Protein backbone atom coordinates (compact mmCIF):
# COMPACT_ATOMS: atom_id res chain seq x y z
CA UNK A 1 0.00 0.00 0.00
CA UNK A 2 1.15 3.54 -0.77
CA UNK A 3 -0.14 6.22 1.59
CA UNK A 4 -0.08 9.76 0.20
CA UNK A 5 -0.92 13.10 1.72
CA UNK A 6 -2.30 15.54 -0.81
CA UNK A 7 -4.14 18.79 -1.37
CA UNK A 8 -7.02 19.04 -3.80
CA UNK A 9 -9.23 21.54 -2.02
CA UNK A 10 -8.76 22.87 1.47
CA UNK A 11 -6.62 21.05 4.02
CA UNK A 12 -4.27 18.13 3.30
CA UNK A 13 -6.00 14.75 3.03
CA UNK A 14 -4.72 11.19 3.11
CA UNK A 15 -5.34 8.58 0.48
CA UNK A 16 -4.16 5.28 -0.96
CA UNK A 17 -2.31 5.63 -4.26
CA UNK A 18 -3.44 3.26 -7.01
CA UNK A 19 -0.88 3.29 -9.81
CA UNK A 20 -1.85 2.38 -13.34
CA UNK A 21 1.00 -0.13 -13.48
CA UNK A 22 -0.81 -2.07 -10.75
CA UNK A 23 -4.35 -1.68 -12.06
CA UNK A 24 -4.12 -1.93 -15.83
CA UNK A 25 -4.62 0.79 -18.45
CA UNK A 26 -6.16 3.36 -16.15
CA UNK A 27 -4.96 6.73 -14.86
CA UNK A 28 -3.11 6.86 -11.54
CA UNK A 29 -5.64 7.58 -8.81
CA UNK A 30 -5.88 8.18 -5.07
CA UNK A 31 -8.59 6.50 -3.01
CA UNK A 32 -9.43 9.06 -0.33
CA UNK A 33 -9.48 7.95 3.31
CA UNK A 34 -10.74 9.66 6.44
CA UNK A 35 -8.45 10.44 9.35
CA UNK A 36 -4.71 10.07 9.82
CA UNK A 37 -3.30 6.57 9.20
CA UNK A 38 -0.58 7.20 11.79
CA UNK A 39 -3.10 8.14 14.48
CA UNK A 40 -5.48 5.20 14.20
CA UNK A 41 -7.89 3.32 11.95
CA UNK A 42 -9.02 5.03 8.77
CA UNK A 43 -11.87 4.32 6.40
CA UNK A 44 -12.26 4.66 2.66
CA UNK A 45 -14.67 7.47 1.85
CA UNK A 46 -15.56 6.07 -1.56
CA UNK A 47 -14.09 9.10 -3.32
CA UNK A 48 -11.33 8.77 -5.89
CA UNK A 49 -9.30 11.54 -7.49
CA UNK A 50 -6.78 11.47 -10.30
CA UNK A 51 -3.23 11.71 -9.03
CA UNK A 52 -2.44 14.25 -11.76
CA UNK A 53 -5.15 16.58 -10.44
CA UNK A 54 -3.81 16.96 -6.89
CA UNK A 55 -0.71 18.39 -5.26
CA UNK A 56 1.26 15.92 -3.18
CA UNK A 57 2.71 17.23 0.07
CA UNK A 58 5.04 15.56 2.53
CA UNK A 59 3.45 12.20 3.39
CA UNK A 60 4.32 12.76 7.04
CA UNK A 61 5.07 15.74 9.26
CA UNK A 62 7.05 14.24 12.13
CA UNK A 63 5.30 15.00 15.38
CA UNK A 64 8.54 15.27 17.31
CA UNK A 65 11.73 14.53 15.36
CA UNK A 66 13.69 13.52 12.30
CA UNK A 67 16.76 11.49 13.17
CA UNK A 68 19.56 11.32 10.62
CA UNK A 69 22.33 8.76 10.42
CA UNK A 70 25.74 9.93 9.25
CA UNK A 71 28.37 7.92 7.37
CA UNK A 72 26.25 4.77 7.08
CA UNK A 73 27.68 3.86 3.67
CA UNK A 74 31.39 3.03 3.59
CA UNK A 75 32.02 4.58 0.16
CA UNK A 76 30.34 7.82 1.26
CA UNK A 77 32.55 7.98 4.34
CA UNK A 78 35.57 7.38 2.11
CA UNK A 79 34.67 10.20 -0.26
CA UNK A 80 34.38 12.52 2.74
CA UNK A 81 37.76 11.33 4.01
CA UNK A 82 36.37 10.14 7.34
CA UNK A 83 36.08 6.84 9.16
CA UNK A 84 32.95 4.72 9.37
CA UNK A 85 31.76 4.98 12.99
CA UNK A 86 31.58 1.78 15.02
CA UNK A 87 28.13 2.76 16.27
CA UNK A 88 25.57 4.78 14.28
CA UNK A 89 26.30 8.50 14.18
CA UNK A 90 23.00 10.22 14.96
CA UNK A 91 21.96 13.82 14.37
CA UNK A 92 18.63 15.66 14.47
CA UNK A 93 16.81 17.69 11.84
CA UNK A 94 13.89 19.88 12.97
CA UNK A 95 10.45 19.01 11.64
CA UNK A 96 10.30 22.54 10.20
CA UNK A 97 12.88 21.39 7.64
CA UNK A 98 10.36 18.98 6.08
CA UNK A 99 8.88 19.75 2.66
CA UNK A 100 7.08 17.59 0.11
CA UNK A 101 7.43 16.66 -3.55
CA UNK A 102 7.79 19.60 -5.91
CA UNK A 103 8.31 22.10 -3.11
CA UNK A 104 11.43 24.25 -3.44
CA UNK A 105 14.67 23.66 -1.62
CA UNK A 106 15.71 27.16 -0.58
CA UNK A 107 19.40 27.97 -1.00
CA UNK A 108 20.16 30.10 2.08
CA UNK A 109 22.54 33.04 2.01
CA UNK A 110 24.65 31.54 4.82
CA UNK A 111 26.10 28.79 2.60
CA UNK A 112 27.95 28.58 -0.68
CA UNK A 113 28.18 24.78 -0.81
CA UNK A 114 24.76 23.13 -0.72
CA UNK A 115 24.70 19.35 -1.24
CA UNK A 116 22.09 16.67 -1.95
CA UNK A 117 22.04 13.33 -0.11
CA UNK A 118 19.50 10.80 -1.39
CA UNK A 119 18.31 8.45 1.35
CA UNK A 120 15.80 5.82 2.39
CA UNK A 121 13.59 7.10 5.21
CA UNK A 122 11.88 4.89 7.79
CA UNK A 123 8.55 6.11 9.21
CA UNK A 124 7.83 4.89 12.74
CA UNK A 125 4.30 3.66 13.39
CA UNK A 126 4.04 3.21 17.16
CA UNK A 127 5.42 4.49 20.46
CA UNK A 128 8.48 2.44 21.28
CA UNK A 129 11.62 2.38 23.42
CA UNK A 130 14.57 -0.02 23.47
CA UNK A 131 13.42 -2.02 20.47
CA UNK A 132 15.49 -5.19 19.92
CA UNK A 133 16.62 -5.77 16.35
CA UNK A 134 14.37 -8.82 16.01
CA UNK A 135 11.32 -6.64 16.77
CA UNK A 136 12.24 -3.69 14.55
CA UNK A 137 9.72 -4.59 11.83
CA UNK A 138 6.92 -4.33 14.40
CA UNK A 139 7.43 -0.59 14.89
CA UNK A 140 7.79 0.43 11.23
CA UNK A 141 4.80 2.04 9.53
CA UNK A 142 6.49 2.25 6.15
CA UNK A 143 9.22 3.76 4.02
CA UNK A 144 9.57 6.89 1.94
CA UNK A 145 12.24 8.74 -0.04
CA UNK A 146 14.31 11.52 1.55
CA UNK A 147 16.88 14.10 0.53
CA UNK A 148 19.10 15.12 3.44
CA UNK A 149 20.06 18.58 2.16
CA UNK A 150 23.29 19.76 3.77
CA UNK A 151 25.23 23.02 3.85
CA UNK A 152 28.61 21.34 3.59
CA UNK A 153 30.66 24.42 4.51
CA UNK A 154 28.62 25.04 7.65
CA UNK A 155 28.94 21.39 8.58
CA UNK A 156 32.72 21.80 8.53
CA UNK A 157 32.89 25.19 10.24
CA UNK A 158 30.33 24.59 12.99
CA UNK A 159 31.71 21.26 14.18
CA UNK A 160 28.18 20.00 14.81
CA UNK A 161 25.43 19.64 12.27
CA UNK A 162 22.28 21.33 13.55
CA UNK A 163 22.59 24.43 11.37
CA UNK A 164 24.10 22.67 8.34
CA UNK A 165 21.19 20.25 8.12
CA UNK A 166 18.43 22.18 9.84
CA UNK A 167 17.41 25.06 7.58
CA UNK A 168 13.79 25.23 6.46
CA UNK A 169 13.32 23.04 3.34
CA UNK A 170 16.39 20.86 4.07
CA UNK A 171 14.36 17.64 4.50
CA UNK A 172 12.29 16.80 1.41
CA UNK A 173 10.17 13.66 1.92
CA UNK A 174 7.89 11.80 -0.48
CA UNK A 175 6.22 11.08 -2.76
CA UNK A 176 4.30 8.72 -0.43
CA UNK A 177 4.83 6.11 2.28
CA UNK A 178 5.14 2.52 1.06
CA UNK A 179 3.78 0.20 3.74
CA UNK A 180 3.96 -3.06 1.81
CA UNK A 181 7.73 -3.60 1.92
CA UNK A 182 9.16 -6.24 4.22
CA UNK A 183 12.23 -5.33 6.25
CA UNK A 184 14.46 -7.54 4.10
CA UNK A 185 13.09 -5.93 0.92
CA UNK A 186 13.75 -2.41 2.24
CA UNK A 187 17.33 -3.47 2.90
CA UNK A 188 17.97 -4.23 -0.77
CA UNK A 189 16.61 -1.38 -2.89
CA UNK A 190 18.34 0.49 -5.71
CA UNK A 191 18.77 4.21 -4.91
CA UNK A 192 19.69 6.85 -7.48
CA UNK A 193 19.95 10.61 -7.33
CA UNK A 194 19.90 12.78 -10.43
CA UNK A 195 20.53 16.49 -10.86
CA UNK A 196 18.95 17.97 -14.00
CA UNK A 197 18.55 14.42 -15.29
CA UNK A 198 22.21 13.43 -14.79
CA UNK A 199 22.85 10.50 -12.45
CA UNK A 200 24.99 11.55 -9.49
CA UNK A 201 24.34 8.76 -6.98
CA UNK A 202 23.83 5.10 -7.89
CA UNK A 203 23.70 2.86 -4.84
CA UNK A 204 21.67 0.27 -2.99
CA UNK A 205 20.35 0.14 0.55
CA UNK A 206 22.15 -3.20 0.93
CA UNK A 207 25.35 -1.13 1.20
CA UNK A 208 24.39 0.26 4.61
CA UNK A 209 26.96 -0.38 7.30
CA UNK A 210 24.30 -0.53 10.01
CA UNK A 211 21.03 -2.18 8.93
CA UNK A 212 17.59 -0.67 9.35
CA UNK A 213 16.91 -2.95 12.32
CA UNK A 214 20.20 -1.98 13.93
CA UNK A 215 19.46 1.72 13.46
CA UNK A 216 16.04 1.40 15.09
CA UNK A 217 17.52 -0.54 18.01
CA UNK A 218 20.29 2.04 18.50
CA UNK A 219 18.12 5.14 18.22
CA UNK A 220 15.39 3.74 20.46
CA UNK A 221 18.00 2.89 23.11
CA UNK A 222 18.28 6.56 24.04
CA UNK A 223 15.05 8.21 22.88
CA UNK A 224 11.42 7.22 22.75
CA UNK A 225 10.18 7.00 19.18
CA UNK A 226 6.69 8.29 18.40
CA UNK A 227 4.32 7.56 15.52
CA UNK A 228 5.39 9.72 12.58
CA UNK A 229 9.01 10.05 13.65
CA UNK A 230 11.38 9.60 10.71
CA UNK A 231 14.80 7.95 10.59
CA UNK A 232 17.04 8.89 7.64
CA UNK A 233 19.26 5.87 7.04
CA UNK A 234 22.29 7.49 5.38
CA UNK A 235 23.40 8.24 1.84
CA UNK A 236 25.53 6.33 -0.67
CA UNK A 237 28.57 7.81 -2.37
CA UNK A 238 28.24 10.43 -5.09
CA UNK A 239 27.22 13.45 -3.03
CA UNK A 240 27.76 16.80 -4.66
CA UNK A 241 26.71 20.43 -4.97
CA UNK A 242 23.42 21.96 -5.97
CA UNK A 243 22.93 25.32 -7.66
CA UNK A 244 19.96 27.65 -7.87
CA UNK A 245 17.85 26.52 -10.83
CA UNK A 246 18.72 22.82 -10.45
CA UNK A 247 16.14 20.06 -10.20
CA UNK A 248 17.16 17.17 -7.96
CA UNK A 249 15.40 13.78 -7.95
CA UNK A 250 15.91 10.81 -5.64
CA UNK A 251 14.47 7.48 -6.80
CA UNK A 252 14.21 4.34 -4.69
CA UNK A 253 13.04 1.18 -6.42
CA UNK A 254 9.75 -0.10 -5.05
CA UNK A 255 8.87 3.26 -3.52
CA UNK A 256 9.02 6.12 -6.03
CA UNK A 257 10.72 9.36 -7.03
CA UNK A 258 11.04 12.57 -5.02
CA UNK A 259 11.79 15.68 -7.09
CA UNK A 260 12.45 19.21 -5.87
CA UNK A 261 13.68 22.42 -7.52
CA UNK A 262 16.37 24.58 -5.95
CA UNK A 263 15.57 28.29 -5.59
CA UNK A 264 17.32 31.33 -4.19
CA UNK A 265 16.19 32.66 -0.85
CA UNK A 266 14.10 35.77 -1.23
CA UNK A 267 15.60 38.90 0.24
Give the integer Cα–Cα distance in Å for 30 and 136: 29
Which carries the bigger pLDDT value, residue 26 or residue 125?
125
If asked whether residues 18 and 139 sit together in one domain, one would say no
Q: Please check whether residue 140 is in contact with residue 122, taking contact to mean a CB–CB distance below 8 angstroms.
A: yes
- At 25 the pLDDT is 55
If asked whether residues 141 and 223 sit together in one domain, one would say yes
pLDDT-wise least confident of 37-46, 195-204, 220-229: 37-46
Average pLDDT over residues 181-205: 98
Q: Which domain holds residue 72?
A: 66-264
If asked whether residues 21 and 75 sit together in one domain, one would say no
If asked whether residues 12 and 41 sit together in one domain, one would say yes
Number of folded domains in the chain?
2
Q: pLDDT of 139-155, one tens digit each?
A: 999 999 999 999 999 99
If asked whether residues 241 and 122 sit together in one domain, one would say yes
- At 110 the pLDDT is 97
The pLDDT-based confidence of 23 (bands split at 50, 70, 90) is: low
Q: Which of 33, 57, 81 is the last residue of a domain?
A: 57
pTM (2 d.p.): 0.95
- For the domain that residue 45 is a member of, what is the CATH number? 2.30.30.370
What's the N-to-C CA distance of the chain in angstroms?
42
If asked whether residues 49 and 90 sit together in one domain, one would say no
- At 71 the pLDDT is 93
- At 207 the pLDDT is 96
Handedness of CA 180, 182, 186, 189 (dihedral sign): negative
| 159: Cβ contacts below 8 Å, ≥ 6 apart | none
- For residue 256, the tally of other CB atoms under 10 A from its CB is 22
Would the pLDDT of 84 be above 90?
no
% of residues, the chain, pLDDT over 70: 98
If asked whether residues 146 and 178 sit together in one domain, one would say yes
CA atoms within 13 A on the CB side of 183: 15
Q: Please check whether residue 146 is in contact with residue 250, taking contact to mean a CB–CB distance below 8 angstroms.
A: yes
Smallest CA-to-CA distance from 108 within 242, 259, 257 is with: 242
- How high is the mean pLDDT of the chain? 95
If asked whether residues 37 and 129 sit together in one domain, one would say no
- At 26 the pLDDT is 66
- At 22 the pLDDT is 59
Q: pLDDT of 98-121, one tens digit each?
A: 999 999 999 999 999 999 999 999
If asked whether residues 23 and 99 sit together in one domain, one would say no
% of residues, the chain, pLDDT over 90: 87
- For the domain that residue 257 is a member of, what is the CATH number? 3.90.850.10
The pLDDT-based confidence of 24 (bands split at 50, 70, 90) is: low
**Torsion-angle region of residue 230: left (phi > 0), alpha (psi -120 to 50) or beta?**
beta
Q: pLDDT of 48-61, one tens digit each?
A: 999 999 999 999 98
- At 20 the pLDDT is 80
Q: pLDDT of 242-265, one tens digit each?
A: 999 999 999 999 999 999 999 999
If asked whether residues 15 and 120 sit together in one domain, one would say no
Give the integer Cα–Cα distance in Å for 82 and 165: 18
If asked whether residues 91 and 167 sit together in one domain, one would say yes
If asked whether residues 140 and 8 sit together in one domain, one would say no
Would the pLDDT of 41 be above 90?
no
Amino acid sequence: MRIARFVAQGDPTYGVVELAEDAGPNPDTIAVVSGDPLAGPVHYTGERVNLADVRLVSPVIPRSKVLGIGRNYAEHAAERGVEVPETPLVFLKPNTAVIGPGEPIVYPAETSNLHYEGELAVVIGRICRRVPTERAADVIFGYTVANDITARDLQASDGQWARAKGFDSFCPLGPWISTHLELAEAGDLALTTTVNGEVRQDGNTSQMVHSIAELIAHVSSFTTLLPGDVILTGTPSGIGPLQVGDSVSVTIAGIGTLTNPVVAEEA
